Amino acid sequence: MQKIYGISPQTVCGKEVFTVTTGLYRMLVMLSLVALAAVYTTGYLRFQIELLLLPILIMLILGRGLLRSPKLIQAGSFVVMAYSIWVFKSNVPWVVVLVEFTSLIMILQLQIASDARSAAGVIILSLMIVLAVAAMNVNFLFPLSLFPYLLLLWAILTRIASLRHQKIYALGQFDDPGVKFRVLAKPWKIPIVLVAYLLIWVSLFYLVPRSDAYGLASETSRRRLQGFSEMLTLGEGGLLEDNPAVIMRIRPTDEETVTTSVIRRLKSKHLRGTSFSSYANGRWFRNQTRRFYVDLRRNAGEFELLRNFPNDIPLHQLEIILENTDPPVIFLPDQTVVADFETNYVAVESDYSMFFLGRTSGRRRYLARLPVEPLEVRDMEVDKLNLTGIMRIYLTKVGIDRRIHQLASQIASNTSTINQRVQATINYLQKNCMYSLYEKAVLDVDPALHFLFYSKAGSCEHFATAMTLLLRSMGIAARPVNGYTMGDWNELGGFFTIRQRHAHAWVEVFFPGSGWVPFDPSPPVGDFVPDGEVSALLTWLWESYEGYWFNLVYNFDQKAQSLGFRKISRSINSIFSGLANFVSSFYFICMLLTLTIVVMLRWHKRAIRAESWLPVWYQKWCLLQPLHRKNWETPAEYHDRLLAEKVFHEEKKHDLFRLAELVNISTTKNADLHKIDEEAKNLTRKIGRPL
């Protein structure tokens, strides 16, 4: 058989198939690469994907596989299966094992993708990978890989259809060579197919049971948080790294909370993580803290942090969605009165730092109820303080240089109360020191001394450390605290996004009449403002995308799905109950009669239009006959009835048969209507008038 359009026909399993061309092979490689990119967005298997990247790029350049032997591919498949079984026994989530196994088999299948069957195998395997990623992924980068995947899938299916039509034409099964590209010559079908794919994906997402039970979390979110362990070293920058990784999102649950004034006050809040007690040579330690395990089942998950809180002060409820982090710190806003958890137990330390038990994968959800208005602090004379017990560790002057004591005496002059000395210290630091993330540490020099007396520039850690040491030198109990600011408010989505770069350090000061009160000595830093109109537009688009993704995808879990199903069920029940009442009414009977009349009229018109398939000349001829043709009669049956009723002589039988034949021929696709009309005109003239 000759070679047509560069396609060499061959026979596989008794069926004629086409050979995969170099262009189609490269498209299959790109499809596999995009599927692996979707896996990469989850944070899993990144090392394996990076190893496969080089051979995939080589295959993309060469346009063929590196291993062409089917026996080697079969042996590799057995090795991949054995490896997957071994990995599965090491407590890796089964979805991750499935994705890894499918990815490796897809790469092996690419090596021998030379015909229609192997090409279809690569497509199916890539589709399985993308479906699995869609079930396990909550990262907003996934749709960015989904869109090019759909475009490539459309292009590959179009190319395969083109090759198949070319092959069928090569086999002589098409009379018209233009038919093979007729389905491909309509570019307007591309957006229709993409919309259809989108509807399918949305349906699958909202109807398939959610994957909360998988216990999966992105490797990005499972990162270890710096600055929340047992020790904090100034100048290391772990807490303050400029990382866009999302740590948590906070969403007000009440409508009265989402107002301009309340949101402005919430922005000034801090999310408390852990505190430190002892300082030595640039290091803070969390020693001498006791941990208690609280059983939340007694109070239905509620934990009261501030007892005897005034009832006349309104509380606002915030939903906190925390990514899986290590250590599993519970971050709560300042002045949280009550926290509500879904777990049965939490760990609480003596400094009120809170932790989840265990490091399970997945997101953590909990609620916090707090006032937004600042509480009035009950001030007190420093000389009248008499702190004992555990509070004495926050008054220790061990590790504090004498120059810091001298500076504290100067700042505290002309002050007598706790609040006066706190404000004097904050004013001194903000007036004489500047905020900087680029100040380098000096060897063999205490970072606090270097910050206060030499560089006078440092990060929030330096400001918090200096204020704590100065207040302790004044006889005031203080401790540095690490946590996060409230991050960025997403107006479209109605939530705060807290990233790693929003990490912060501040100071808590103890007032005997009010407890621990937070103070932030760091100079205020202006919010990020996009540079230029294009940057502002891109920032707005990204925030809008994040808002939609968070509300419609990320936050759609089993609870939201069950609630949605219940709402749909109630709506259907209410519709059917309303229909039952309507059916029994007089108006329904009148509407039913009207609908029946309309349907009958439409049916009558349709019956009349049913004649439109007959040629016009034949319909006119039928109207001239004394017996009219019935709608169900074919031309041949009608002519037989005309002969049976003696409308025409038997000698006209052959002419009537030819006339019915011309009617049938005129309805075919490639009929020569002009020629048929001429013959029919002569034939009807020959038949003549009826008897």
Q: Quick one: DSSP state of residue 223?
A: P
Domain ranges of the chain: 10-214, 231-377, 537-583, 615-687
CB-based contact 290:218 (threshold 8 Å): no
Does 220 have pLDDT greater than 80? no
Q: Quick one: DSSP state of residue 440?
A: P
> Confidence class of residue 361 from pLDDT cuts 50, 70 and 90?
low
Tens-digit pLDDT profile for residues 282-294 = 889 887 567 888 8
Sequence-distant (≥ 6) Cβ neighbours of residue 147 within 8 angstroms? none
Residue 369: name the closest of 259, 252, 268, 275 by CA.
252
3-state secondary structure labels for all residues of 506-538: EEEEEECCCEEEEECCCCCCCCCCCCCHHHHHH
Residue 20: name the closest of 90, 86, 119 by CA.
119
Q: Quick one: DSSP state of residue 336?
A: -
CB-based contact 519:509 (threshold 8 Å): yes
Lowest-confidence region among 5-19, 361-375, 511-525, 668-682: 5-19
Does 535 have pLDDT greater than 50? yes
- Give Cα 276 distance to the centre of its chain: 37
- The crossing angle, in degrees rounded to 10, of helices 673-687 and 653-666 is 160
Does 15 have pLDDT greater than 50? no
Residue 191 φ then ψ, to 5°: -65, -30
d(CA 622, CA 651): 19
- Looking at per-residue pLDDT, the higher value among 67 and 58 belongs to 58
Residue where the block lists tokens 């904050």: 426
CB-based contact 627:642 (threshold 8 Å): yes
Q: Give the percent of the chain with pLDDT over 70.
A: 74
Q: Which two tokens stand for residue 338?
A: 């009550």
pLDDT of residue 423: 95
State the amino acid at position 556 in one-letter form: F
Residues 236-242: what's their mean pLDDT? 57
Tens-digit pLDDT profile for residues 609-663 = 445 568 888 888 888 888 888 877 888 888 888 888 888 888 888 888 888 888 8
Q: Which residues pair with 367 in a beta bridge?
A: 319, 340
In three-state secondary structure terms, 540 is helix
Residue where the block lists tokens 């001829």: 621
Sequence-distant (≥ 6) Cβ neighbours of residue 44 within 8 angstroms? 96, 99, 219
Residue 372: name the closest of 516, 266, 272 by CA.
266
CB-based contact 481:273 (threshold 8 Å): yes
